[in-house]
């Protein structure tokens, strides 16, 4: 697997390219290209949905489980072009605030452009790293994120940062990818799978342990579903025996939406 700095450069470069392409909403994790994975869910029925901000990069609908209230301060990690941030703003209203954080400058510029068109005065986007968030301690009532934590090399630090920026009794709602079973190294090493939201996934028990070690309580999986990978990807990366095990669902990936509280 690439070193942490290589992973970040790989992800940053790829998402800069995505920010520059025409919007094709709802496709999920760059699915319009053959080496990426369709795992998203449709936002089109949600209040506040902005098609221009939907680059199809998510794997769930974290705002639906986030229990956001009017007046809340919400921080969106890996905010991209602003899709989840704008939906959160619809719920917080004018009395709340939404802060989006993304490590890709091109995404920040795209989100700012979308925000200017919408005219929201209480939404802002900040360039920053999830492992070192540009957000003050105890800022957020709610932290949301959509298919981004799995791309972070140091997930322990990411969860620690989420805990730090939450207010006491604050909570997170994260949609993410976890793996199950003995996933072949060929798939875990794949750069295409990495920037397509897959290869950075960890086992759910480990994921849950890191959340508990960060201090979170009342951790709940709100929903989950199996991720089906494109035939061209798995036939390229897997041996015949591994392919057979994949089809028998002896290993794989799950999209989950998980919540937890800072006590």
pLDDT in tens, 237-254: 899 999 999 999 999 999
Using an 8 Å Cβ cutoff, are 192 and 5 in contact?
no
Q: What is the pLDDT of residues 38-67, one digit of tens each?
A: 456 778 778 888 889 988 888 899 999 999
Which residue would you say has higher pLDDT here, 7 or 101?
101
Residue where the block lists tokens 């209203």: 93
The most distant pair of C-alpha atoms in the chain lies apart, rounded to whole Å, by 57
> Which of 33-42, 194-203, 229-238 has the weakest average pLDDT?
33-42
Average of per-residue pLDDT across 203-220: 97
Instruction: Give the start-end residues of each E strand in 46-135.
Output: 73-77, 97-102, 123-127
Q: Report all structural domains of the chain as residue ranges with CATH numbers, in order of start.
A: 4-262 (3.40.50.150)
**Which CA distances in Å does 218 have to 127, 170, 177, 252?**
31, 12, 20, 26
Q: What is the pLDDT of residues 69-109, one digit of tens each?
A: 999 999 999 999 999 999 999 999 999 999 999 999 999 99
pLDDT at 30: 41
Radius of gyration of the CA atoms of the chain, in A: 17
Q: What is the pLDDT of residues 218-233, one digit of tens each?
A: 999 999 999 888 888 8
pLDDT over 70, % of the chain = 89
Residue 159, pLDDT above cutoff 90: yes
Instruction: Give the start-end residues of each E strand in the chain.
Output: 73-77, 97-102, 123-127, 140-146, 166-180, 202-203, 216-227, 252-262
pLDDT at 18: 82
pLDDT at 31: 40
Q: Is 104 exposed, middle or buried (0-12, 13-18, 19+ CB in 10 A)?
A: buried
- Distance CA(110)–CA(52), nearest Å, equals 9
Q: What is the pTM of this model?
A: 0.89
Which residue would you say has higher pLDDT here, 182 or 188?
182
Which residue would you say has higher pLDDT here, 121 or 15?
121
């Amino acid at each position: 697997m690439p070193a942490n700095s290589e992973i970040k450069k790989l992800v940053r470069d790829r998402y800069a390219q995505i920010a520059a392409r025409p919007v094709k909403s709802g496709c999920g994790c760059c699915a319009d290209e053959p080496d990426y994975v369709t795992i998203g869910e449709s936002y089109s029925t949600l209040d506040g949905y902005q098609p221009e901000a939907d680059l199809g990069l998510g794997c769930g609908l974290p705002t639906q489980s986030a229990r956001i209230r009017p007046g809340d301060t919400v921080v969106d990690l890996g905010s991209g072009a602003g899709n989840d941030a704008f939906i959160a703003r619809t719920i917080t209203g004018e009395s709340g605030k939404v802060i989006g954080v993304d490590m890709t400058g091109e995404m920040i510029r795209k989100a700012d452009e979308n925000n200017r068109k919408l005219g929201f005065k209480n939404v802002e986007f900040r360039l920053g790293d999830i492992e070192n968030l540009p957000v003050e301690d105890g800022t957020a009532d709610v932290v949301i994120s959509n298919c981004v934590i799995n791309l972070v090399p140091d997930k322990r630090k990411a969860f620690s940062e989420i805990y730090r920026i939450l207010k006491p009794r604050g909570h997170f709602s994260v949609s993410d990818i976890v793996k199950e079973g003995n996933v072949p190294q060929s798939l875990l090493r794949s750069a295409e799978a990495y920037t397509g939201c897959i290869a950075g996934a960890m086992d759910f028990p480990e994921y849950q342990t890191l959340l508990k070690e960060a201090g979170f309580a009342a951790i709940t999986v709100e929903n989950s579903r199996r991720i089906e990978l494109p035939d061209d990807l798995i036939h390229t990366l897997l041996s015949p025996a591994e392919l057979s095990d994949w089809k028998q669902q002896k290993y794989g990936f799950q999209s989950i939406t998980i919540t937890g509280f800072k006590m």
